[in-house]
Chains A and B, each alone.
Chain A
Amino acid sequence: MQTGTPSRKTMTLNLTEAEMQALDELSATKDISKTAVLRQALRLYQMVEVRTARGEKLFFEHDTTKQKAELMVL
């Protein structure tokens, strides 16, 4: 297989207790490691950044009421 997968690098992360708890919970709920959770988060954040930079907005839509709420991206 020809691969485009980049080599991986390691870093140390400093989190507050609340942030670590949220990470632990996501890791347990999603059944993936904390590294995988953060990788997911980064990919989604990067996608939101690229699209908002293009002038798009991010909305949440309620499944039944169809009410839309804009997600504020800082």
Chain B
Amino acid sequence: MHDRKARRLVEATLIDGITRAEAEKAEAEWKPYLEEQLKRMAAEGVPKDRWPQHGHWDWRQKQEAADAYLAYRMFGVECQSQMQGLMLVLTAGKNCQIESQKGKPLAYVHFLAAAPWNLATVAPDPRFSLVGSILVATAIHLSIEEEFQGRIGLHSLPQADEWYRNSCGMTDLGRDHAVQDLRYFEMTPEQASEFLK
């Protein structure tokens, strides 16, 4: 990961299989920080459409729900004893929609978020960058491990559309009326290979 303040890369730990305790700790650290920043943003008159759209996600609840299923894998990136990002991936039952890959299985990124202090939209002085990229790369590696050749898919919150389209190089398949009208993105094996470079 990149420490923005120190302007250097720092080592982080990728955790495969987030425990209840780890999810609780992350939630306990993320929530108060986010609430504090939202108060500041409200006081500064920051328009609500610039507030984080995933602020209501409860990772403790997600970990508990996903823990019951073999099909879900939960990952986290930890640095300086704090969780810097979390991701929940579904590894069964989702198929590609892109014509060239149609019907072939993919790893579906159900939820992905960086800690609020790493978000440029929230933190006045964001701490680490590349958290999202590490998690997307992790989803690609999981897809390869599952023999899906790097194919991944996800529904993006509007604030992240541009990042998935331009920074990750995913294909935008348009709005999905079945999933809150969110835009649906897919990555082909070729795009995955390009991303990992």
Let me know if B47 is at the binding interface, CB within 8 A: no
Q: Give the secondary structure class of B's interface.
A: loop
- How many angstroms from the CA of A43 to the CA of B91 in the assembled complex? 8
- The 8 Å CB contact of B147, one of A33, A42, A46, is A33
Let me know if B70 is at the binding interface, CB within 8 A: yes
- How many angstroms from the CA of A47 to the CA of B90 in the assembled complex? 11
What is the interface size of chain A, counting residues whose CB is below 8 A from a CB of the partner? 19
> What distance in Å separates the Cβ of B96 from its nearest Cβ neighbour in chain A?
10
| B93-A44 in contact (CB<8A) | yes
Digit string of A1-30 for contact with B (CB within 8 Å is 1, else 0)? 111110000000000000000000000011
Digit string of A25-51 for contact with B (CB within 8 Å is 1, else 0)? 000011111001001101110110010
Known contacts A32-B105, A40-B105: A47-B16 contact under CB 8 Å: no
| B16-A4 in contact (CB<8A) | yes
Query: How many A-B contacts if CB must be within 8 Å?
Result: 58
| A2-B14 in contact (CB<8A) | yes
| B13-A46 in contact (CB<8A) | no
| B105-A3 in contact (CB<8A) | no
Complex interface: chain A residues within 8 A of B13 (CB): 1-2
- How many angstroms from the CA of A63 to the CA of B147 in the assembled complex? 28
| B146-A43 in contact (CB<8A) | no
Known contacts A42-B70, A44-B92, A47-B70: A1-B148 contact under CB 8 Å: no
Complex interface: chain B residues within 8 A of A50 (CB): 68-69
Let me know if B103 is at the binding interface, CB within 8 A: yes
> What distance in Å separates the Cβ of A59 from its nearest Cβ neighbour in chain B?
14
Complex interface: chain A residues within 8 A of B146 (CB): 32, 36, 39
Binding site for B on A (CB under 8 A): 1-5, 29-33, 36, 39-40, 42-44, 46-47, 50
Binding site for A on B (CB under 8 A): 13-18, 68-71, 73, 91-93, 103-105, 146-149
Instruction: List 21 A-B pairs, Cβ < 8 Å.
Output: A1-B14, A1-B16, A2-B13, A2-B14, A2-B15, A3-B17, A4-B73, A5-B16, A30-B104, A31-B147, A32-B147, A39-B146, A40-B92, A40-B93, A43-B70, A43-B91, A43-B92, A43-B93, A46-B69, A46-B71, A47-B70
